[in-house]
Amino acid sequence: MTSTRWPGTTLPRRFFRRDPRVVAPDLLNKIIARDDGRAGRIVEVEAYCGAEDPAAHTFRGPTKRNATMFGPAGHLYVYFTYGMHWCANTVCGKEGQGWGVLLRAIEPVAGLEAMREARGNPARLKDIGSGPARLAQAMGITGGQDGADLIKGDRGFRVLDDGTPPPLDPVAGPRIGISQAKDHPWRWYVRGNPYVSGSRLARKS
C-alpha cells in the first residue's frame, strides 16, 4: 500500500512484530507521514522493553493509560507527559508484551509550513522535530491518535519505506530523560544528523 502524499511503501505489521531493540535501529530513515501532507524522516529512536525494563510505562503491567502498548504491533501509543506534552511510540512485539519504540526526532521532509505553524514558528529549522514532544507537536499527534493503526492508516498516519536504508553505522547509547535503567544502550540515532535531540549528550554516548 502506498501513500498519496509521500512516496513510499507502508511498513507491514510483521516489521513491528519484533523485539523493539531490533525494530528501533531499523526505523531510522523511515518516514512517518500523515494524510494532510506532513512527513518526517525518523532520525532518533529509543526502545522500551516491557516487564524487563523499569523505564518502560508497561513495566508494572497493563493500566488504562498504557493499554495500547499491550495490544497489536504497528499501532501508535501516545501518552501525555509533564502535564503539557504528547509523545508517540510504535507498538512492537506480540500482544501482551508491552513493547514499543519511542519516536524521538524527525527531519522534516514535507509539509514544512504546517509543521512550523503547529510548533509556533520556531526560529531554527532544526527545532521543529528535534525531541519527542516537538515531533508530536509538529506532526499534530495528540491523545486522539492513541491506538491509531499505522498499517491501515485509520487516523491518517503511516510509517513508510521510501527506499532510504537505515544507516550502516547508527550511534547507540543510553536513553535520555529517564531515572531508571539509564545505562541500557537502547537509543539509536543517525550519525551527524542535525535534527537529533540532546546533541551534547549524544556526543558522549
9-192 in CATH: which number? 3.10.300.10
Listed in sequence order, the residues at least 6 apart from 69 whose beta carbon sits closer than 8 Å to its beta carbon are: 50, 57, 58, 77, 89, 91, 98, 99, 100
Write down the pTM of the prediction: 0.93
Per-domain boundaries in the chain: 9-192
Helical ranges in the chain per DSSP H? 13-16, 20-27, 112-118, 132-139, 199-204
- What does each of the 205 residues of the chain score in pLDDT, given as a tens digit? 344 478 899 999 999 999 999 999 999 999 999 999 999 999 999 999 999 999 999 999 999 999 999 999 999 999 998 778 999 999 999 999 999 999 999 999 999 999 999 999 998 999 999 999 999 999 999 999 999 999 999 899 999 999 999 999 999 999 998 888 988 999 999 999 999 997 443 333 2
